[in-house]
């Protein structure tokens, strides 16, 4: 952190760049920015700035360079992994005022936007033309596309449509030395390295993205949304594998286990059976023609796997209620316990029955209730550990249980994060997933963009001697 006189100088100069409306430096204002959706660790930035143009970002970044202070970009702060945590203080560059949709070109199927555009705004903006932005994280009403780019966000529809990187064509990025680089663009296959592809998911450690060329996707003509009710998680999982094995790629395949069903039913009264082992939301989308054939095939497969019943959402209202139940399941968990903590592991799809048994066993061993609602088609689990954060001993058990679950994901050949990112939360898992040689190459890559490490320090990659002390406590989260 800069010395006081220096920081006064810094604030004055930030004021000159963005004006008094564009800087926060009072402690009472900064408290809001000391964490994101990951609330275990808190670090207060020295200032938060709200640039409205790329030029302002350049000036801010250059100023930070002159003063030798770290900086980091921030979108809506919905990160669940501490991606926006200003470790070591410094200047937080909030991109929320760079929120213009600069161009929409439906013929060439792209849009150019600023990073502060909220995910759902773009999709709403495209609705009249029959297009949408495909990545749809459950936080899409709040999260920004700049943030989606940083974490390579997913969502329920990634099984068929892919994650953020599959929908980003080009970027404008301000590097830590203030140079502005444009990578890619509205066309495909530009010669040279795919820098765009590697900047997506770099969690703000390469620079500040100030403009994004995204691919836009035609809306499906129709949907068939089915709810399969199963006695056991195994039957539900086998159904998933068989559907995909039959050559059908559903738009979404989401699983809810018994515990989460209780909460969701209490909140939304959808009519979920409270005694089911698991339910699957299975949705196929696309052209109207052929959808019924796919739906029939899915129903048959579910029945072969001993589904107690398969219901169809017969109206659009029913379909929307079903999706609301799914997307707001985390909110409903509040009915079960005062606090909860969610994880973001990934396993090969066929290992789902195994990992769910492991989760149950871990829950029993630590005397914790764990609910499951997740993107089953991708093998991306989100176990929700219920607890009471006022009980310190319980909090310790929650963290130990969460880590055991993630360790088992690694043992299954999976990953510790499917869509939330490493941030600061999972930095300790990186050496478990990657060898020193792997990490060394990642450090080499980062040094091409961010050689001095002043942009988003202490994120993603563990650095020798810069180990972060993680205060272990509970947290709330929504995915």
Partner 1 sequence: MELWPGDRSMGSTLEIDGFGPLPLVRPGSAAELGEIVRAAASNGSALYPLGGGTKLDLGNPPTRQGNVVDMRALNQVIDFPARDMTVTVQAGMAVASLQEILAHEKLRLPIDVASLRSLTLPARREGAQQSTVGGVLATNESGPRRLGFGTLRDYVIGISVMNDEGREFKAGGRVVKNVAGYDLCKLLVGSLGTLGIITQVTFKLRPLADQHALAAIPCAAESLEELVNRIHGSRTRPVALEALNPSAASVALGQVSLPLPTGHWMVIAGYEGNHTAVEWQVRELAKELGAVTPEVRIGDTAEPLWQALIEFNAWPETKVTFKANLLPSATAAFCAAVDRLAPNTLTKAHAGSGIVVGHLTGDWTRDRTAAFLAVWRELAGKAQGRVIVTRCPWEWKNVINVWGPIGGDAWLMREVKEKFDPHGIFNPGRFYHGI
Q: How far is the CB of 278 from partner 1 (least distance, A)?
A: 19
CA distances in angstroms from 239 to 258, 273, 298, 477, listed in the order given: 17, 18, 8, 29
What is the sign of the dihedral through the CA atoms of 148, 150, 152 and 156? negative
- For the four alpha carbons of 47, 84, 71 and 207, in that order, the dihedral sign comes to negative
Residue 104 beta carbon to partner 1: minimum distance, rounded to whole angstroms: 14
Question: How far does Cα 199 stand from its chain's mean position?
Answer: 16
Between 271 and 290, whose beta carbon lies closer to partner 1?
290
Least distance (Å) between residue 168 CB and partner 1: 10
CA distances 385 to 171, 304, 366, 369, 380, Å, are: 37, 32, 11, 6, 16
15 or 249: CB nearest partner 1: 249
Instruction: State the minimum distance, in angstroms, from the CB of residue 383 to partner 1.
Output: 16
Using the CB atoms, write b or e for 348-363: b if 16+ within 10 Å.
ebebbbbbbebbeebb
CB atoms within 10 A of CB 398: 26
Q: Which is nearer to partner 1, 123 or 380 (CB)?
A: 380
The residue among 162 and 277 lying less far from partner 1, judged by its C-beta, is 162
> Residue 204 is encoded by which pair of tokens?
């703000």
**Closest approach of Cβ 347 to partner 1, in Å?**
7
- Residue 2 or 178: the one with the smaller Cβ distance to partner 1 is 178
Rounded CA gap, 235 and 216, in Å?
36
Between 121 and 206, CB nearer to partner 1: 206
Would you call 287 exposed, middle or buried from its count of C-beta atoms within 10 A (0-12, 13-18, 19+)? exposed
* Cα–Cα distance measured from residue 234 to residue 280, given in angstroms and rounded to the nearest whole number: 12
Q: CA 358, CA 370: separation in Å to the nearest integer?
A: 11
Least distance CB 128 / partner 1 (angstroms) = 15
The smaller minimum CB distance to partner 1, of residues 38 and 50, is found at 38
Residues contacting residue 344 through CB under 8 Å, at least 6 positions apart: 80, 81, 380, 381, 382, 416, 417, 418, 419, 420, 479
Shortest Å, Cβ 192 to partner 1? 4
Closest CA to 383 of 346, 427, 337, 344: 344
What's the min distance (Å) between Cβ of 159 and partner 1? 8
Name the residue nearer to partner 1 (CB basis): 67 or 181.
Answer: 181
Nearer to partner 1, 200 or 478 (CB): 200
Strands 339-342 and 278-286: unpaired
Could you give the angle at the alpha carbon of 231 between the alpha carbons of 317 and 351, nearest 5°? Answer: 95
Taking the C-alpha atoms of residue 87 and residue 106, their distance in angstroms, rounded to an integer, is: 41
Nearer to partner 1, 68 or 290 (CB): 290
> Which token pair is 102?
């600069």
Q: How far is the CB of 240 from partner 1 (least distance, A)?
A: 10
Shortest CA distance to 91 belongs to which of 204, 253, 184? 204
CB of 179 to partner 1, least distance (A): 8
Quote the CA–CA distance of 343 and 383 in Å, as a whole number. 6
Q: How far is the CB of 415 from partner 1 (least distance, A)?
A: 4
Supply φ then ψ for residue 371, to 5 degrees. Answer: -100, 155
Nearer to partner 1, 441 or 467 (CB): 441
Classify 179 as helix, strand or coil: coil
């Amino acid at each position: 952190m800069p010395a006081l006189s220096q920081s006064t100088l810094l604030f004055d100069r930030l004021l000159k760049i963005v004006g008094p409306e564009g800087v926060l430096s009072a402690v009472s204002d900064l408290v809001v920015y000391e964490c994101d959706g990951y609330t275990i660790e808190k670090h207060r930035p020295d200032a938060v700035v709200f640039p409205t143009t790329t030029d302002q970002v350049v000036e801010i970044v250059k100023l930070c360079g002159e003063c030798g202070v770290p900086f980091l970009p921030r979108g809506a702060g919905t990160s669940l992994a501490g991606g926006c945590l200003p470790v070591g203080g410094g200047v937080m560059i909030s991109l929320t005022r760079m929120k213009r949709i600069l161009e929409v070109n439906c013929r060439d199927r792209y849009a150019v936007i600023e990073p502060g555009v909220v995910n759902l705004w773009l999709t709403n903006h495209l609705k009249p033309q029959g297009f949408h932005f495909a990545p749809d994280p459950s936080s899409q009403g709040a999260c920004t596309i700049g943030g989606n780019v940083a974490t390579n966000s997913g969502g329920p529809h990634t099984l068929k449509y892919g994650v953020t990187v599959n929908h980003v064509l080009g970027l404008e990025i301000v590097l830590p030395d203030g140079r502005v680089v444009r990578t890619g663009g509205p066309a495909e296959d530009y010669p040279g390295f795919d820098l765009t592809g590697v900047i997506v998911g770099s969690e703000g450690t390469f620079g500040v993205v100030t403009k994004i060329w995204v691919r836009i996707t035609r809306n499906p003509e129709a949907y068939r949304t089915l709810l399969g009710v199963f006695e056991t998680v195994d039957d539900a999982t086998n159904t998933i594998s068989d559907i995909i094995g039959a050559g059908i790629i559903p738009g979404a395949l989401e699983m809810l286990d018994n515990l989460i069903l209780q909460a969701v039913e209490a909140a939304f009264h959808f009519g979920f059976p409270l005694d089911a082992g698991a339910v699957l939301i299975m949705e196929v989308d696309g052209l109207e023609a052929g959808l019924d054939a796919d739906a029939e095939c899915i129903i048959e497969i579910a029945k072969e796997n001993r589904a107690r019943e398969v219901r169809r959402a017969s109206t659009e209202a029913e379909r929307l209620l079903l999706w609301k139940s799914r997307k707001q399941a985390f909110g409903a968990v509040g009915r079960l316990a005062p606090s909860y903590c969610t994880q973001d592991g990934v396993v090969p799809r066929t290992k789902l029955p195994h990992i769910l048994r492991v989760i149950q066993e871990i829950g029993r061993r630590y005397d914790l209730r764990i609910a499951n609602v997740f993107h089953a088609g991708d093998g991306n689990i989100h176990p929700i550990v219920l607890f009471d954060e006022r009980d310190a001993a319980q909090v310790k058990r929650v963290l130990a249980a969460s880590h055991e679950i993630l360790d088992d994901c690694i043992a299954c050949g999976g990953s510790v994060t499917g869509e939330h990112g490493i941030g600061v939360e999972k930095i300790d898992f990186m050496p478990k997933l990657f060898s020193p040689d792997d990490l060394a190459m990642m450090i080499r890559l980062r040094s091409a963009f961010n050689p001095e490490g002043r942009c988003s320090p202490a994120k993603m990659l563990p650095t020798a001697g810069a180990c972060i002390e993680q205060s272990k406590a509970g947290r709330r989260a929504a995915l």
